[in-house]
Amino acid sequence: MEKHSPQFRPISFNGICTRLGDKWTVQVLWRLSLAQDRRLRFSALRKEIDGITQRMLTLTLRNLERDGLIMRHYFPEVPPRVEYDLTEMGIGVLGALEGLNSWIQNNLSVIEQHRQIYDRNNQ
């Protein structure tokens, strides 16, 4: 295999990759991408993402909105309704993750074998 392109400069990986690597961000993006109009309300996201708390969903959505990857739509009804949808940039980052995702699909089992072997050799 040949070396990667010289443009590869992981300078910017912190803090984009740090954000993407957190516990819930990719899940939220992914769920939105599968929805009608790439748009879901808060309670729907919460139901679909197993184990997420209300607090962490709120924080994750705030960060994504701050970065411009999703948009928040507030409807001052009673009871209130809030919907979130992917922006063009939010759609784009999911596309940019596909290469990594398929690599993980292809290599995860090998990695897990390595981990088992390593752990066995170190008690």
> Nearest distance from residue 91's CB to DNA, in Å?
21
Residue 22 interacting with a copy of itself (CB under 8 A): yes
Q: What does the alpha-carbon distance between residue 53 and residue 83 come to, in Å, rounded to a whole number?
A: 17
Residue from 19, 61, 73, 78 binding a copy of itself (CB under 8 A): 19
Residue from 43, 54, 58, 100 binding a copy of itself (CB under 8 A): 100
Q: DSSP per residue over 87-117, as a string?
A: -HHHHHHHHHTHHHHHHHHHHHHHHHHHHHH
Residue 115 interacting with DNA (CB under 7 A): no
Contacted by 70, from DNA, a copy of itself, none: CB < 5 to 8 Å by type: none
60 and 18 Cβ atoms separated by less than 8 Å: no
Structure tokens at 9: 């400069």
Phi, psi for residue 110 in degrees, rounded to 5: -65, -40
Residues present in the chain in total: 123
Q: Longest C-alpha distance within the chain, in Å?
A: 61
Residues of span 51-110 touching DNA by CB under 7 A: 51-56, 58-59, 61-62, 72, 74, 79-83
Residue among 33 and 54 whose Cβ is closer to a copy of itself: 33
Residues in contact with DNA by the rule CB under 7 A: 18, 22-24, 41-43, 46, 51-56, 58-59, 61-62, 72, 74, 79-83
